[in-house]
Structure 1
């Protein structure tokens, strides 16, 4: 569920959208589901993404998407992006408990970024994974510079989920 300021607090208003993934990719997942809210004025199968993806590339928080219904009322399958919401997404992978991460992350947070987190087991062992949301008013070049700096310092590995052109 979205816990950002101004985000929804009632899960009843949200549905899940499934995004198909390549199971042979680094994470080993065949799909990921994201929370979304109906955008009824745009059509019955149109939704606004309300969470940040951990694995799905090409999708951001607040993007408006078309999705296809399934046999479960609360689950849809992603079809296409209708409109970009202005946000960008990056994924960070790092060793749990590395105290240097919090210090470096603070600089990124101060620019306006937020994250959702989870633990994941990869070939290197257990890791913390951040799905980083970069709002449209943040300095994307500075965010990227700080992410790259953290990677060069050995704090984390990162990849771009989708960067919105500005």
Structure 2
């Protein structure tokens, strides 16, 4: 039996984009250590912008908070982070679209905010078109937190 995986929380300070958003000052993401001051993210961010699942980021120790704190992204994984606002009426159709695209997601404690991990091999242009269709037909909302390199190069216009 192998050693248990050691994961660490990395704190991302969240700048206010409006008086009520984001609703928190920080977000903690799980990560695995890959270097002296670098870690690989192990979950999809709900609020932090500019990072995705499996990205490698530089961290520093914040002695005052006794936490590892995000400094910068040093290597992208190719994954994209997409956030959705989904009400109960749209859950089944959104799940079907994400399942068909081989994406995975986490849902926050309100049940409304979804953090979606889009793997590098997914045709993001096609997925985006489906999500934009659902924006009109099912009333979901969509935000791209960060697009992986292959997804930026795809026809997403």
Task: Output the TM-score relative to the length of structure 2.
Answer: 0.83
1:36 aligns with 2:62: no
User: For structure 2, which runs of at least 5 residues remain unmatched after alignment?
Assistant: 151-157
Most deviating of 147-156 and 69-78: 69-78
Relative to structure 1, is the Cα distance of residues 148 and 54 closer, same or farther in structure 2, using a 3 angstrom cutoff? same
Instruction: Give the drift of 1:74.
Output: 7.9
CA distance in 1, matches of 2:15, 2:101: 32
What stretches of structure 1 of length at least 5 have no aligned partner?
A: 1-9, 121-126
SS in 2 for 1:80: strand
1:83 and 2:67 aligned: no
Distance 2:144 2:124 in 1: 12
Deviation at 1:109, TM superposition (A): 1.5
The separation in 1 between residues aligned to 2:11 and 2:136, in whole angstroms, is 33
2:147 corresponds to 1:130: no
Aligned partners of 1:73 and 1:119: how far apart in 2? 25
For the residue of structure 2 that corresponds to 1:158, the secondary structure is strand
Farther off after superposition, 15-24 or 128-137: 15-24
> What is residue 4 of structure 1 aligned with on the other side?
none
Cα displacement string for residues 38-64 of structure 1 (whole angstroms, at most 9, x for unaligned residues)? 00xxx3111000000001110000000
- Correspondence for 1:5: none
Question: What SS does the aligned partner of 2:108 have?
Answer: strand
Tell me whether 1:164 sits opposite 2:148 in the alignment. Answer: yes
**Partner Cα separation in structure 2 for residue 46 and residue 143 of structure 1:** 31
Instruction: Please list, as runs of the form range in 1=range in 2, the aligned pairs for 1:13-162 lying within 5 A after superposition.
Output: 13-25=6-18, 26-39=21-34, 43-71=35-63, 75-95=67-87, 97-98=88-89, 100-120=90-110, 128-162=112-146
Distance change (3 Å), C-alpha of 1:153 and 1:56: same
Q: Report SS of the residue matched to 1:141.
A: helix
Q: TM-score, normalised by structure 1?
A: 0.79
CA deviation profile, 1:60-103 (whole Å, cap 9, x unmatched)? 000000000133898310001110011001001122x22x3312
